[in-house]
Structures are given as structure tokens and as C-alpha cells.
Amino acid sequence: MAGDFAMNSLRDGIGDYLELRRSLGFKLKKDELYLRDFVAFMERRHAAYITAKLAAKWAQQPASTDPNYLAGRLRAVRSFARYRVITDPRTEIPPTDLLPRQRSTFQAHIFRQEEIARVLVASLQRRRGAKPISRWSRYTIFGLLSVTGMRLGEALNLDLEDVDLDNGVLTIRNTKFGKSRLVPVHATTCAVLKQYLEQRNAFLAGRSARPFFISPLGRRITHSVLELSFRRLSRKLGLRGISDVTGPRLHDLRHNSECRIIPSDGREAKECGRSVAVGSA
């Protein structure tokens, strides 16, 4: 009975913790998944409170060789433990030197304009068995990242109502920092987006779809699918070796942009330099 109460209390504590952190603007989607799994782990062992040993054992459960992935799992529990110790003094806070993060030596690839042009041309090439909408989506997304500085997730999360091609403005909702902003785009970029919209609507043939960028199934494109496509394409272009684990990332395309970013509340307009347009197909 006492054990059941402790576990219920631990689960309730996680709910309260997530609610508090989210009220401060944190999203914690990944942390919630980790913590729910951690509670299930504790429950299977009838453990009434958090210990550093149990937290480390849970964090190292996945058969992963990535130390930063394991460190991220433990970090989620450590953060909750700091909150939990206030209501349960038995709680042990896992030390920060337990499963520490490894400092990355990775450096972003700075794309030259010639490389971006090659990426865009290659992204339009036909693939056996692939529907045309796939290459049009790839081409338009890759180009949009390179000229606006948008994050991949921001581009993929665009809905039809977020794309105002008449006024040349994209609305980015729920950004990394929980706010929204407006991104003006060059007239030639608008022309390519309109071209994509025509291809999209022709493919849907009267069917409705909320996402602006769609997959061959008419759904929102996922990060993993697009990143895999980019890795294959970058190998084909010689931007990374056949066996290279590291190399240019899709995210690196955005490091080349110089753009104007206007917060949606109109507080500030920041001019980052010249306007750059996506090239025509």
C-alpha cells in the first residue's frame, strides 16, 4: 500500500513538475517521455524514491553508444530530482559528473553559393518510383532554408494559412522560444513558393491538407525523411564521403542567409542585410 502511494506520488510529482516548467515557457516534450518511462522503471522495481544509482541505471538502458544521448536522459531525471527533493528529502540528485555530456568538436559546414545551387539542382532530379511532389518539396524546402534562415522544424510546421504569398510574409508560430514571428520573403522566393503551391494543389486534386509542405501521402513531411534525403544527396554531390558519419547537415543551409526578422507583435524590425532569392527551377 505504501509503495503504491509512493509511486502515485512520484507520478503526480512529475505532472506537477511539468506543469510548473511549462508555465515558465518550456515545452519539455522529450523530458516528459523520459520521465514517464523513468517512473515505469521505478515502479517495476518498487522503488519509492529517486537514487543516483537507479537514475543512472535507467539512463543507460538503451543500447546506444552516443554518450550525449545517455547524458540527456539523465539530465531530465536530474532536473526533476532537484524539484522533487523539496517534497521528498530522501531524493538523491544525480551528480553532474555522472554520465557527463561530451563536448562536440563538430563544426558547421558553411555552404558556398555554388554548393547551394548544386544542392537545389540535384534535389529536383527524378527518382525511379518517386512521385514528383517529393522532389518539389525537397527543392522548395532546401531553398527556403538557405534564403530565410528558418529552422527545418519551422519550415515543416508551416500551414497553408501561415504562407501569405500576396504580401510575401511567412508566419512562424511557436518558435524554439515559444513565440511567433513574421518572415518577409523576396519576390523571387514568393514566385517559387507559388510554383510549389500549384504543384501541391495539382497533386492533391481537390483533397484538403493543412500542411503547406506535403509528403506523397498528403501529410506533413517528417524531419527524419528529409534529413535522410539530404544525406544521400550530399554524398551524391561529393559533399561527404560514402562512409562518412559526419558531414554537411540540412541545418547548415540556414547559416548562409541574411534576412529581416520581424517579431509578430511588431516591437522590432531587424535588417540583417541583403535579400536573397531562391533560384528558379
Please write the tens of the pLDDT for every residue from 3-35: 455 555 899 999 999 999 999 888 899 999 999
Q: 196 pLDDT band (50/70/90 cuts)?
A: very high
pLDDT score of 11: 92
pLDDT score of 105: 59
Evaluated on CA atoms 90, 91, 93, 98, the torsion sign reads positive
Average pLDDT score over residue span 82-96: 95
The x, y and z cell numbers of residue 9, run together, are 506520488
pLDDT score of 146: 92
pLDDT score of 1: 44
pLDDT score of 177: 61
Q: Using alpha carbons, select from 118, 117, 121, 184 the residue that is nearest to residue 150.
A: 184
Helix %, strand %, coil % for the chain, to 5? 50, 5, 45
Higher pLDDT, 193 or 246: 193
Higher pLDDT, 65 or 52: 52
For the stretch 233-265, pLDDT in tens is 999 999 887 766 677 888 888 876 443 333 333
pLDDT score of 215: 95
CA distances in angstroms from 127 to 81, 250, 279, listed in the order given: 50, 20, 21
**Backbone angles phi and psi of 212, in degrees to 5:** -70, -50
Q: Report the percentage of the chain scoring pLDDT > 90.
A: 62
Higher pLDDT, 118 or 279: 118
**Does 275 score more than 50 pLDDT?**
no
**Does 118 score more than 90 pLDDT?**
yes
Spatial contact of 165 and 197, defined as CB atoms under 8 Å apart: yes
Order across the sheet with 163-164: list the strands. Answer: 163-164, 169-172, 181-184, 260-263, 270-271
pLDDT score of 243: 67
Average pLDDT score over residue span 173-194: 86
pTM here? 0.59
Q: 134 pLDDT band (50/70/90 cuts)?
A: very high
Instruction: Flag the least confident range among 11-15, 39-43, 66-70, 139-143.
Output: 66-70
Ramachandran bin of 207, using left for φ above 0, alpha for ψ from -120 to 50, beta for the remaining angles: beta
Q: How many CA atoms lie within 13 A of 210 on its CB side?
A: 1
CA distances in angstroms from 255 to 146, 170, 172, 190, 223, listed in the order given: 7, 19, 18, 20, 18
pLDDT score of 130: 86
User: What angle in degrees, to the nearest 10, is found between the helix axes of 132-148 and 187-204?
Assistant: 160
Mean pLDDT in the chain?
85
Q: Using alpha carbons, select from 254, 248, 255, 215 the residue that is nearest to residue 232.
A: 248
Average pLDDT score over residue span 84-109: 86
pLDDT score of 180: 83
Beta strand extents in the chain (DSSP E only) = 163-164, 169-172, 181-184, 260-263, 270-271
Spatial contact of 144 and 125, defined as CB atoms under 8 Å apart: no
Ramachandran bin of 247, using left for φ above 0, alpha for ψ from -120 to 50, beta for the remaining angles: left
Evaluated on CA atoms 194, 198, 203, 207, the torsion sign reads positive
| Distance of alpha carbon 156 from alpha carbon 54, whole angstroms | 38
Higher pLDDT, 260 or 72: 72
DSSP state of 167: T
